[in-house]
C-alpha cells in the first residue's frame, strides 16, 4: 500500500514538472503607415487604425486593405512564412514542452499615396455609358430548366 502511494506521488510530481515546462509561442504582426491613422482590414475583418498590432495563430497569407480619407486605398497580400522552430517535426515540442517562450513579431510599413482627383470629363463619359447600358433592353433569359434558376 505504501509503495503504491509513493508511485502516485512520483507520477503527480512528474506531471507538475512537465506542466511547468510547457512552452509557448507568441505570434504578432504590426502594421504601420505613413501617414498614420489609416483603417486596416485584414481578410475582411477590421482590426483598427495604424499603428495597429494583432496576434495570430497560423502562418500563411493575409490580405490587407488600408483605407484613409484623402489617400489611395491600398490592398496588399502578405505572406507569413513559418520560422525554423515551427514545422511538422518541431511544432509539438516548441508549443508544449519547451521551457522558453518564442516570440515571432512581424512588422509591415506602407507608404500611402495622396488620392488624385478624378478627371471630370472621363467621369461624365463613364456615367453616360452606364446610363445608356441601363436604358437598353435587358439580356434575354434562358428558357427551360436553366431559366427556372435565373441562368
| Domain range list for the chain | 23-133
Q: Write down the pLDDT at residue 2.
A: 57
Q: Write down the pLDDT at residue 89.
A: 76
39 vs 145, residue with greater confidence: 39
pLDDT at 140 over 90: no
Q: Write down the pLDDT at residue 74.
A: 93
Spell out the residues 6+ positions from residue 89 whose beta carbon is closer than 8 angstroms to its own.
none
pTM of the full predicted structure? 0.61
Q: Write down the pLDDT at residue 48.
A: 92
Q: Write down the pLDDT at residue 128.
A: 92
The proportion of the chain whose per-residue pLDDT surpasses 70, expressed as a percent, equals: 76
H helix runs in 21-119, sequence order: 91-92
pLDDT at 84 over 60: yes
Q: What architecture (CATH level 2) is domain 23-133?
A: Sandwich (2.60)
Contact 141, 64 (CB under 8 A): no
Amino acid at each position: 500500500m505504501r509503495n503504491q502511494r509513493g508511485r502516485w506521488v512520483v507520477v503527480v510530481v512528474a506531471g507538475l514538472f512537465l506542466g511547468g515546462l510547457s512552452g509557448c509561442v507568441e505570434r504578432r504582426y504590426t502594421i504601420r503607415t505613413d501617414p498614420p491613422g489609416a483603417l486596416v482590414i485584414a481578410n475582411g475583418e477590421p482590426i483598427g487604425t495604424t499603428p495597429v498590432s494583432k496576434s495570430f495563430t497560423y502562418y500563411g497569407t493575409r490580405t490587407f486593405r488600408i483605407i484613409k480619407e484623402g489617400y489611395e486605398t491600398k490592398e496588399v497580400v502578405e505572406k507569413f512564412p513559418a520560422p525554423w522552430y515551427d514545422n511538422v517535426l518541431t511544432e509539438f515540442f516548441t508549443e508544449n514542452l519547451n521551457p522558453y517562450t518564442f516570440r515571432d513579431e512581424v512588422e509591415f510599413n506602407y507608404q500611402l499615396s495622396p488620392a488624385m482627383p478624378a478627371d471630370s470629363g472621363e467621369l461624365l463619359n463613364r456615367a453616360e455609358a452606364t446610363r445608356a447600358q441601363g436604358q437598353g433592353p435587358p439580356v434575354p433569359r434562358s428558357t427551360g430548366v436553366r431559366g427556372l434558376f435565373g441562368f
